[in-house]
Chains A and B, each alone.
Chain A
Amino acid sequence: MSNAQLTVPFDEAMTRYEPIIGLEVHVELGTNSKMFCSCATAFGAPPNTQVCPVCLGLPGSMPVLNKVAVESTIRIGLALNCEIATWCRFARKNYFYPDMPKDYQVSQYDEPLCTNGWLDVTVATDDGPQVVRVEIERVHMEEDTGKLTHAGGATGRIHGADYSLVDYNRAGIPLIEIVTKTVIGTGPLAPAVARAYVAELRDVMRALGVSDVRMEEGSLRCDVNLSLNEPGAGWGTRSETKNVNSLRSVERAVHSEIERQAGVLDGGGRVIQETRHFHEDTGRSTSGRSKEQAEDYRYFPEPDLVPIAPTRSWVEELRAELPEVPSVKRARLQSTWGINEFELATLVNAGAVELVESSIAAGVDPAAARKWWTGELLRVANERGVELADLPVTATQIARVESLIADGSLNDKLARQVFEGVLAGEGDVDVVIAQRGLAVVSDDGALLAAIDEALAAQPDVVEKIKSGKIQAAGAIVGAVMKTTKGQADAAKVRALLLDRLGVSE
């Protein structure tokens, strides 16, 4: 029924409703061991090979808190301008679902480690970049859950499944939940603000080095809360959309939920408080269970873990060691690289800032580094539907290609073919060049032979050139580039052929 529901086009919805959004982002920390036990945390390990009595919830086992997880959480809190609690505890969130073998998840409830912060994000508008301050309600620690695979049904989803299979490798991995306060007043920018916030948060996590923040591997996950305010009628009921697993999906989830809720309200219906599931393929969400109330989780202080009381000296020590925040860093890079706001925004949106930076560090000219990452490589990333950073190309490889262009061994066209080979997994730059036989033909003899052949094949063109129509030389250059499979320097071919015909420019 939810699929067949009437929706209102976004622009039209915006004329009548004001979106109110809230974002809950879960970040898996990149610690060596789990939150409360010493099990390893490697992604993709064979099922149930990183488990112990604690994370399996075996009787008598006792959790002990990972110090690095606490440190990372404090650093995240500080980077997000939060206050750090002087004393706080863990709580048990009780629920029955096989993703947690204990039948509860250890989390923080009314005593989060970090509270009241903010993060400024920049979105592009018709009037140029606009800064929006997203306020942070809390940053708290919890443990990740196990991974369920639903089996037996035709769809792989729980409806129709006969049973489920559980892998507890992920259970107990440190998870940080970052919750915003409600974000109001963004109007039609709401989808872009949501995306920019998650992107900025990801960059902050990367800068802190606390997580690899790979959305496709689930180490950064986003839930989108949204309600519509009808001016005069008050705030509406909010829905929570889960399973939003890419930056693009964050934007699409907000967009489609605005259209859906506007449809419900326009049709005289009532938005119900529920969990919805976002589907990457359709860009829309479907209704899930209606949300359990907080009291249904029967939170109570975790008796097996002692309170955390970070000393102020520890907090200040961590604050002093914080890296440059991404927004400050970007302003610095913008002036160092001599680029404008728009060029910077292109790099940020493409997730290319760090990649360009490391390419420059590897010796690539700044303009060339930007050209590759926001041009050819971005095109391939989009085509493959992956993040730029996940392309199998390194800064060193770009530096190598650029140095070969500089010494005349490669031209732009050949360089693109080199990257094509590198991206296809054919090997490193020099291996691809050797195997594909990619090199600018610099041997004048070979070039002259190709030129003579082209000249002989097109006597009419030769006459034109001789009679002064030098622009006709393009046809000969084209023919030579074709015979040399693009492996010649076009300017050189042109100079040689004009010389051959005794014509000067």
Chain B
Amino acid sequence: MTAITRDEVAHLAKLARLDLSGAELDHYAGQLAVILQSVARIGEVAADDIPPTSHPVPVENVFRDDIAMPGLDRAEVLAAAPATEDHRFRVPRILDEEEA
């Protein structure tokens, strides 16, 4: 059973801060079910002797030396933002979270 329920889609939409209508929920539930089914087919092919992997190439322990280097120019960085104030990024208030 790989189908995704309408409630699950609604929950995901909420987490993704997407405001979906009832019709859209049905629409995406159908589309997502197809994606899940396609992925599930890969699971059918996988044999027991093939371990699941998160990375395409088996590489481990890639590290960087702890040396600080200059980053980007602030003016350049802030110029790319939709709104700034006081050398900071200005973002809309977030209502459903308490202060960090």
Contacts and interface: CB of A to CB of B under 8 A. Distances in A.
A385 interface: no
Contacts of A69: 66
Interface string A71-91: 000000000000000010100
B93 A164 contact: yes
A32 B89 contact: no
A288 B55 CA distance: 38
Q: What size tier do the contact residues of chain A reach?
A: 35 or more
Interface in A55-106: 55-56, 64-70, 87, 89, 94-99
Interface in B54-100: 54-55, 59-72, 74, 77-78, 85-100
A367 to B, nearest CB: 42
Interface stretch (A2-10, A150-158, A201-209, A416-424): A150-158
Given A40-B68, A66-B66, A69-B66, A168 B99 contact: no
Nearest to A174: B66
Contacts of B89: 48, 98, 165-166, 168
A457 B69 CA distance: 74
Interface residues of B, number: 38
A66 B91 contact: no
A306 B94 contact: no
A96 B70 CA distance: 28
Given A48-B74, A51-B77, A158 B54 contact: no
Interface string B2-24: 00000000000001110000000
Nearest to A31: B66
Given A64-B64, A65-B62, A306-B61, A163 B71 contact: no
B9 to A, nearest CB: 14
A147 B99 CA distance: 11
Interface in A467-496: none
Contacts of B100: 97, 99, 145, 147-148
Contact of A288 (B60, B85, B98): B98
Given A150-B93, A306-B55, A289 B62 contact: no
A414 to B, nearest CB: 46
A51 B69 CA distance: 10
A33 B63 contact: no
B66 A32 contact: yes
Given A158-B98, A275-B98, A308 B93 contact: no
Contacts of B61: 306-310
Contacts of A288: 98
Contacts of A168: 89
A289 B97 contact: yes
A403 B93 CA distance: 59
A165 B90 contact: yes
A309 B93 contact: no
A94 to B, nearest CB: 8
A52 B74 CA distance: 9
18 contacts: A33-B64, A33-B69, A39-B69, A47-B86, A47-B87, A49-B71, A64-B63, A65-B63, A66-B63, A147-B100, A148-B100, A149-B88, A150-B99, A162-B93, A165-B88, A166-B89, A288-B98, A309-B60
Interface of B: 15-17, 54-55, 59-72, 74, 77-78, 85-100
